[in-house]
Chains A and B, each alone.
Chain A
Amino acid sequence: MSTATAEHVDSQDEAHHHPSDRKYVQIAIILAIVTALEVGTYWMESVPGEVLIPVLMLMMVYKFFYVAAWFMHLRFDSPMFTKFFVVGLILATIVYGIMLTVFEFWHKG
């Protein structure tokens, strides 16, 4: 068996190998901590919006991709599934980014 074929077989095996229950619990704990941090910002009234909003967006994106990668198994499944999902995400971002610009959302803050 050639090296390339062996690598292909390995990647196929890896594609079907999902994390252990312990790993899933660890991920859920991380997500819970990030959620607690997000909620904690609600009581930080002295933090200006220019700082608060990017921090909240970063935590949101982190949680979003963590769930997609681990719980939805995009990290382990075929890249084709990721492509189908990401195409929808990118399309939505572009279409509604244009829509918000047309409605002057960014000017209003």
Chain B
Amino acid sequence: MAEAAAVSHGHGTGTGLSNNKLLMWTFLGSECLLFGGLISTYLIYRSRFGDGPAPGDIFDIPFTSVSSFVLLMSSLTMVLALSALQRGDIRNNRIWLLTTALLGALFIGGQVYEFTTFLREGLGYTTSPFSSAFFTLTGFHGVHVSLGIVMLMSLLISSFRGTLTKERSETVEIVGLYWHFVDVVWIFIFTVIYLVPSPTS
């Protein structure tokens, strides 16, 4: 058991680094290619909105700005959860993990509201190449946030079972890496898709 923990922290690996962390960073590097493809496709198709609503007419920047702020602040609560566990402060670790999951859920709630508003205004998934690219990109990001919430809830359950201790803080660190990555991808999406002036009809 102790030997396994040592290997997971990189003391017994060939590189001297944690295999789990290295795997997560490799995964995140590959995720850059996935989101790069989705963002590029959106950029190519954003002017092809046909008879449907144009991006510049339909985006609600003040609303999306609040959602972006919520996700950005969830990165802070995530890192505070890790910091608490590294100090052995289980109570604060649970509070910050729960806060992060709630902020993530709030972001997803905002996205669901945005999607339903767009649908009501006549922008469906197959309305135009622009709408397909937009819903695919933001939907994929939403799925990533949702998976992150599932991971955070799993960590909370582990904590209440007593298996998430200071010695196993690397697990929180790895989930944190995933969560922060989802945040940095949104930093990119928010600027490129929403803030850069979009075509209007």
Complex contact A88–B21 (CB within 8 A): no
Q: How far is the CA of A89 from the CA of B68 in the complex (A)?
A: 22
Interfacial residues, chain B to chain A (CB-CB below 8 A):
15-17, 21-22, 25-26, 28-33, 35-37, 39-40, 43-44, 47, 61-62, 65, 68-69, 72-73, 75-76, 78-80, 82-83, 86, 173, 176-177, 180-181, 183-184, 187-188, 190-192, 195-197
Chain B residue nearest to A42 (CB atoms) is B61
Most chain B CB within a 10 A radius of its CB, from A24, A42, A88: A88
Interfacial residues, chain A to chain B (CB-CB below 8 A):
18, 20-21, 24-25, 27-28, 31-32, 35, 38-39, 41-42, 49, 52-53, 56-57, 59-60, 63-64, 67-68, 71-73, 77-78, 80-81, 84-89, 91-93, 95-96, 99-100, 103, 105, 108
Given that A60-B188, A68-B180 are known contacts, is A89 also in contact with B29, CB under 8 Å in the complex? yes
A-B contact pairs, 28 of them (CB 8 A): A18-B82, A24-B76, A24-B83, A27-B76, A28-B72, A28-B76, A32-B73, A39-B195, A42-B62, A42-B195, A56-B191, A56-B196, A59-B191, A64-B188, A67-B184, A71-B75, A77-B21, A78-B17, A80-B15, A86-B29, A88-B29, A91-B33, A92-B32, A92-B36, A96-B37, A100-B43, A100-B44, A105-B43
A78: shortest Cβ distance to chain B, in Å?
5
Complex contact A24–B195 (CB within 8 A): no
Q: How far is the CA of A40 from the CA of B53 in the complex (A)?
A: 24
Complex contact A67–B75 (CB within 8 A): yes
A56: shortest Cβ distance to chain B, in Å?
5
Q: How far is the CA of A31 from the CA of B37 in the complex (A)?
A: 26
Q: How far is the CA of A24 from the CA of B183 in the complex (A)?
A: 15
